[in-house]
Amino acid sequence: MPLWKQLLLNAYYHGTLPWRSLRNRALVRSGNAPLMILMYHRVAGDAANAWTTPTEVFARQISWLERHFELISLEELQWRIRGQNNQRPAVSITFDDGYAENCDLALPLLIDKEIPFTYFVTSSTTLHGGFFPHDLAMGNRLAPNTVHQLRELVKAGVEIGAHTRTHANLGAIDNEATLYDEVVTAGRELGDALGIEPRYFAFPFGQHRNLNRRAFTLAAEAGYQGVVSAYGGYNFAGDDPFHLQRMGVDGPMIRLKNLTTLDPFKQWNIPRYDYQEIEQPFVAGSVVEE
Ligand SMILES: [Zn+2]
């Protein structure tokens, strides 16, 4: 993020902070404190691209988050949504894609602090090598995680989720077999390699235009407990517990602070993706086991 944008965001953040504090206090009092899911990609010492967070910034972000929020797993977040009550603002941390450098400092830091997180991995890059198309397009050859690294994460109790086979834009796919491959087979082959059954699925890119109603249905039928988007919405108790909305926080501290303290612009102007508009194969709340 360019410096001028950081300064502008900083002014906006401080200008709206009194309103945010009042709003957050009111939500806590009514048992409807926000449930936020953060999306990181790559934490490393270089500044290779917009989806890399410098290691020292990440460490500061985590200690800031520890001071201000409950840091919870996706499963706990879903419980709070279903329970229709959340007394404290809570944050769940996720990573997308599967970059090797995350295992240097970022993930060990979270594991040492016993902070839960979900790690979404694109299966083909980890299982067969190669680089991500979005990195190659920028001229970057950034190493993906190895199977060995992911097995170590599983041993440490980390939740590994599926993130398609080829990092395809699912919003542009209407071929049933290809969608099945990217949503269902991707999770199975990743799970087979790691000895797990991935419980969550993340849409690549995650904006409204990258989502796909049929893919939601396939994910539910395949037994995923939840799917995540990344267009920036907040979650609240009583929402649909299957589709969890995330916000991208790669980069500077001010972006993280702005989003997690309830950015009024984002809260009111980002509509929830309605995957049940045409087909209704899955009813919100039906994953609750009763
Ligand atoms: Zn991705």
Please answer whether residues 285 and 241 qualify as being in contact, where contact means their C-beta atoms are separated by less than 8 angstroms.
yes
Q: What whole-number distance in Å separates Cα of residue 282 and Cα of residue 229?
A: 17
pLDDT class of 283 with cuts at 50, 70, 90: low
> What CA–CA distances, in Å, run from 12 to 17, 53, 67?
8, 22, 22
- List, as ranges, residues with CB under 5 A of the ion ligand 1: 96-97, 204
Q: How many A from CA of 114 to the centre of ligand 1?
A: 25
Q: How many A from CA of 23 to the centre of ligand 1?
A: 32
Q: How many A from CA of 20 to the centre of ligand 1?
A: 30
**Mean pLDDT over each residue of the chain, to the nearest integer:** 93
- Burial grade of 272 (CB within 10 A; 0-12, 13-18, 19 or more): middle
Whether pTM exceeds 0.75: yes
Q: Express each pLDDT in 219-239 by its tens digit.
A: 999 999 999 999 999 999 999
Q: Express each pLDDT in 195-215 by its tens digit.
A: 999 999 999 999 999 999 999
Q: How many A from CA of 38 to the centre of ligand 1?
A: 13
- Burial grade of 181 (CB within 10 A; 0-12, 13-18, 19 or more): middle
Q: How many A from CA of 161 to the centre of ligand 1?
A: 12
Q: How many A from CA of 163 to the centre of ligand 1?
A: 7
Q: How many A from CA of 172 to the centre of ligand 1?
A: 15
Q: How many A from CA of 122 to the centre of ligand 1?
A: 7
pLDDT class of 278 with cuts at 50, 70, 90: low
Q: How many A from CA of 205 to the centre of ligand 1?
A: 6
pLDDT class of 48 with cuts at 50, 70, 90: confident
Q: What whole-number distance in Å separates Cα of residue 239 and Cα of residue 4?
A: 36
Q: Express each pLDDT in 57-92 by its tens digit.
A: 999 999 999 999 999 999 999 999 999 999 999 999
